[in-house]
Amino acid sequence: MEGRVIFHVDVNSAFLSWEAVYRLRHADGAPDLRTIPSAVGGDIAKRHGVILAKSIPAKKYDVRTGEPVVDALRKCPHLVLVAPNHALYEENSHAFMNILRKYSDVVEQYSIDEAFVDMTGTEWLFGKPIAAAHRIKDEIRDTLGFTVNVGISSNKLLAKMASEFEKPDKVHTLFPQEIKEKMWPLPVRELFLVGGASEQKLKRLGINTIGDLAHADVGMLKSVLKKHGEAIWNFANGQDVSVVERETADNKCYGNSTTIAFDVTDADTAKIILLSLAEHVGSRLRKDDVWIEVVSVNIRFFDLSHASHQCVLKHATNITEEIYHAACRLFDEFWDGTPIRLLGLQTGRVSRDGGNRQLSLFDDTDYEKLEKLDRAIDNIRDRFGAGAIQRASFLRQDKSV
């Protein structure tokens, strides 16, 4: 096949699937959450928080990702609700990405549960694209216990659209010559980056399908939706020039980010995500025996606009708690309530001589104790897996997402 071959690999109902696999392996007689009405959600006792992932049986009751738990339970009173386990999700994500990297050295992790893989030129190693996709899909299922969808195309946008077709455990293609048949008849809302607000504006213009959008006047779209109008017009026509960006080792800064499955609109949920990111970054710092002095929080909003804010710490640190509190201060300073789709935490000014902290008469925090505690947690997770120990913040019902 001429040209590029790009895979988009997406875990089916990731959080719920990972919970199901864990329970089947560690709890005798546990039901498979994927086969019953179930969801990963927030506060089980107080019925707070939102739905993060749902099973296919729960979908039949119209349980939706991102909706309040209380609404989901109203629709499906017998819904089995599971509290989120962020350490478990990080562990599964890491294992998932490791399998993808066996097939290509050009893997771009797009979020915790999805990635783009450039398979160009690998046909002689793994067979034609469809055969290779089935091979990857089946290895993930047979090795890790959960299923994925694989979308295949010549660019990232079409590969991602293909992976959203029939689920679960499927392989789909969407090459440019297939756009007219497979993509244009779909409702315009199903196009990547077309949200609810954009959908309503497009419908007022008489644009109901992706095909309608592809044939619309781009100038008119720009007048109504600004740059976003031109972007989705390009996508409706299958145009995407972005490349799969290979991840490289970065010795100058340590960071992590996650694309969220729903629009985050409250600070408590955002801060739980920041804590998970701080744990990941802190563990990497301690593993490399380095300290940082700069913390930065990055946000991508629902409309793809960006914002970031950073600060310089008084002392170099690799302590999770310090990194997290700095991130929360930054978040409170610049977030204006706009719905969030991605949160990132970056650090900078990395050094190997940050262990000598100058003590202050006005600060009685036992930093040595905090660092020892972090390292003890790191050791437990290294030996027994990321899910072996969790912070209470992820389990307490009044703080779960």
**Tens of pLDDT, residues 73-86:** 999 999 998 888 87
| CA dihedral sign of residues 31, 33, 35, 41 | positive
More confident residue, 255 or 165: 165
Which CATH number does the domain 183-236 belong to among 1.10.150.20, 1.25.40.10, 2.20.28.160, 3.40.30.10?
1.10.150.20
Q: Domain 16-86, what architecture? A: 3-Layer(aba) Sandwich (3.40)
Catalytic residue, from 108, 114, 321, 322: name it.
Answer: 114
Active site residue 114: yes
What pLDDT, on the 0 to 100 scale, is given for residue 354?
59
What's the fold here for domain 254-385?
Answer: Dna Ligase; domain 1 (3.30.1490)
Q: How confident is the model at residue 361 (pLDDT cuts 50, 70, 90)?
A: very low
Q: Where in the chain is the domain with CATH 1.10.150.20?
A: 183-236
Indicate whether 187 pLDDT > 70. yes
What pLDDT, on the 0 to 100 scale, is given for residue 100?
96
What pLDDT, on the 0 to 100 scale, is given for residue 399?
37
What pLDDT, on the 0 to 100 scale, is given for residue 48?
57
End-to-end CA distance of the chain: 45
Q: Where in the chain is the domain with CATH 3.30.1490.100?
A: 254-385
Within 122-190, strands assigned E span 148-153, 171-173
Q: What residues does 297 pair with on adjacent strands?
A: 309, 345
- For helices 86-100 and 267-288, what crossing angle results, to 10°? 60
Q: What percent of the chain has pLDDT over 90?
A: 45
Nearest of 122, 192, 198, 201 to residue 164 by alpha carbon: 192
What pLDDT, on the 0 to 100 scale, is given for residue 46?
47
Residue 286 makes CB contacts below 8 A (sequence gap 6+) with 318, 371, 374, 375, 378
Q: What residues does 348 pair with on adjacent strands?
A: 294
- Spatial distance between the Cα atoms of 141 and 169, rounded to a whole number of angstroms: 8
Average pLDDT, integer, range 358-372: 59
Q: Where in the chain is the domain with CATH 3.40.1170.60?
A: 16-86
Q: How confident is the model at residue 263 (pLDDT cuts 50, 70, 90)?
A: confident
Q: How confident is the model at residue 45 (pLDDT cuts 50, 70, 90)?
A: low
What pLDDT, on the 0 to 100 scale, is given for residue 256?
82
More confident residue, 363 or 354: 354
C-beta separation of 49 from 39 below 8 A: no
- Spatial distance between the Cα atoms of 224 and 367, rounded to a whole number of angstroms: 54
C-beta separation of 10 from 259 below 8 A: no
C-beta separation of 312 from 330 below 8 A: no
Of the ranges 134-143, 250-259, 381-390, the best mean pLDDT one: 134-143
Q: What is the pTM of this model?
A: 0.67
